[in-house]
Chain A
Amino acid sequence: MSEVHAPARSDAGPGRTAAAPSEPTLPANLRRNAPLVPTDSAASRALAAVIAILTFLAALCAGAAEIAVSSAGQWQGSVAQEVTVQVRPSAGRDIDADVRQAESLARAAPGIAGARIFSKAESERLLEPWLGSGLDLSDLPVPRLIALTLASDRNADLSALRTALTTALPGVASLDDHALWLQRLSTMANTFAGIGIGVVLLVLFATGLAVVFATRGAMAGNREVVEVLHFVGADDDYIAKAFQSRFFRLGLRGGVLGAGAALLTCALAGLLARMWRSGPAGEEIEALFGTFQIGWQGYAIIVLIGVIASLVTAAVSRFTVRRFLR
């Protein structure tokens, strides 16, 4: 009945004692650690494209917000460096004496680096854009201005100066610290920044959702692979890691492409803006966008968004796989 017994060859088979004495020669082209989850299907390319596009949009949006915020910051900086004292002509008063008094008051105040009186001619020239040139304005009660430059090293006490001016020259002198302007500017800048952050968050959320769907699709499509991995002793964590590394690579590819495209677009736009600035429309463009340069911070934000998109992809896919396997 039993014609076959234990094999005569004891030098071979899985039960041989210690490891092979010398490593057997391997074919040079032997592939060894291919990803456990098949990559490069049409679905993965589509997902990478979606991530790239979303990253691109988020990065552009962040770049635009950065331009707005930094331009607003520049304007604010230059506007806030100056305050203006206005001296109105009043019947029965010598306006030149009033201006001189206001100037000496301002110069005496702490934190004021300099004061420049706009002469009568200069004050009238400020009205030219509205009234046209060549008019005799001597009959008009044109107010006179004193531009005060603030010292950058210490804070000026503007309310004290304002009180001093109104006490010394009641109804004649007033101080304009551009507070309303500055407030509006900073509101606008904050709004832009808020919109930028909101859009970036939305886009990252959309990326996460796309990854959830793609991961579930990949899990369903690779059910057989997952089952075999379980049978050969892989735990859920290992399987989740396998999917995570696949999706991290996809996310990285998408993030790099999207962020790279956004960086190129910004660099190109800066270049074009610089070229156009010499043209007839240059001044308008510059007035609108400033110098159209997003600076190293902007570039850093764009790169950061690419990295975050890849990390979100990895984390979301891992979480989805863990939930799927449970």
Chain B
Amino acid sequence: MKTGSLLSGAEEPVVRFESVGMRYGLGPEVLSDVSFEIAPHSFQFLTGPSGAGKTTLLRLILLSVRPTRGLVSIFGKEVSGISNDALTGLRRRMGVVFQDFRLLDHLTTYENVALPLRVQERAEASYRAEVVELLRWVGLGERMHVLPPLLSGGEKQRAAIARALIARPELLLADEPTGNVDPSLARRLLRLFMELNRLGTSVVIATHDYGLMDLVEARRMVLAEGRLRVEGP
């Protein structure tokens, strides 16, 4: 276990897995003996064939499922038996882009993007400008009052990304964030993630788009048959 976090809090890994195994119910292990760390300010891809366990790994980091064995620490906190309050505190430091976007269909694009700030019970006036600016930056300035069912796949994706970024998370998890957009927009979104990383956010992008990964020199965490291999710098 990592110690000395009082003195070197900044250097503590954002995510740390030690021999983590995960199975759903009585099924086979989806992940076995996965150990890795995600350093602060780092940028990495998580890749592997479909069904290799990428989404499960992201869900473990998001604390929406718990490991069957092994230790998971998020922001230096070991998460088994974590209280609900602490869980909420950890989640507020993360941003997540889901593969299926998970926008709330009864809220407008603006309201969806503002959601992470709204649930912190901040006054709407205090974040309005920020949300509108981010929406304009991802090209949704004209669509902010539209309900998600009326957005195209690419627009939904950008809205989901904007929602993940709005609270300036310390850790950004993105599951196939460029799956539904054309290559030029994919590059623009990648630039957005990189700028966010430059400003201090650790970024994990799950993708199997090799074209996208080849654009950046970054660490690659490759999942295959439930085991993890780390490549690159």
Binding site for B on A (CB under 8 A): 1-7, 10, 12-16, 19-20, 23-24, 26-27, 29-34, 36, 38, 224-225, 227-236, 238
Contact = CB atoms under 8 A, between A and B. Distances in A.
Given A4-B191, A13-B192, A34-B107, A231 B128 contact: no
B134 A231 contact: no
Interface stretch (B14-22, B25-33, B108-116, B222-230): B108-116
Nearest to B161: A14
Contact of A236 (B84, B144, B187): B84
5 contacts: A6-B191, A6-B198, A34-B108, A34-B111, A232-B163
Contacts of A26: 128, 132
Contact of B190 (A4, A15, A224): A4
B70 to A, nearest CB: 23
B88 A24 contact: no
Interface string B84-128: 110010011000100000101011101100111011110010001
A222 B191 CA distance: 35
Contact of B64 (A3, A38, A231): A231
A234 B129 contact: no
A229 B107 CA distance: 12
Contact of B108 (A20, A31, A233): A31
A231 B91 CA distance: 6
Contacts of B187: 4
A225 B104 contact: yes
B130 A33 contact: no
A228 B104 contact: yes
Contacts of B111: 31-34
Given A20-B129, A31-B145, A233 B120 contact: yes
A37 to B, nearest CB: 9
Main SS at interface, chain B: helix
Main SS at interface, chain A: loop
Contacts of A7: 191-192, 194-195
10 tightest A-B contacts by CB? A233-B92, A234-B119, A15-B199, A235-B88, A38-B106, A7-B191, A232-B116, A20-B129, A24-B132, A14-B165
Contacts of A224: 102, 104
Given A230-B91, A235-B88, A32 B124 contact: yes
Interface in B191-227: 191-192, 194-196, 198-199, 214-217
A6 B62 CA distance: 27
B119 A30 contact: no
B110 to A, nearest CB: 6
Contacts of A27: 144-145
Contacts of B116: 232-233
A2 to B, nearest CB: 5
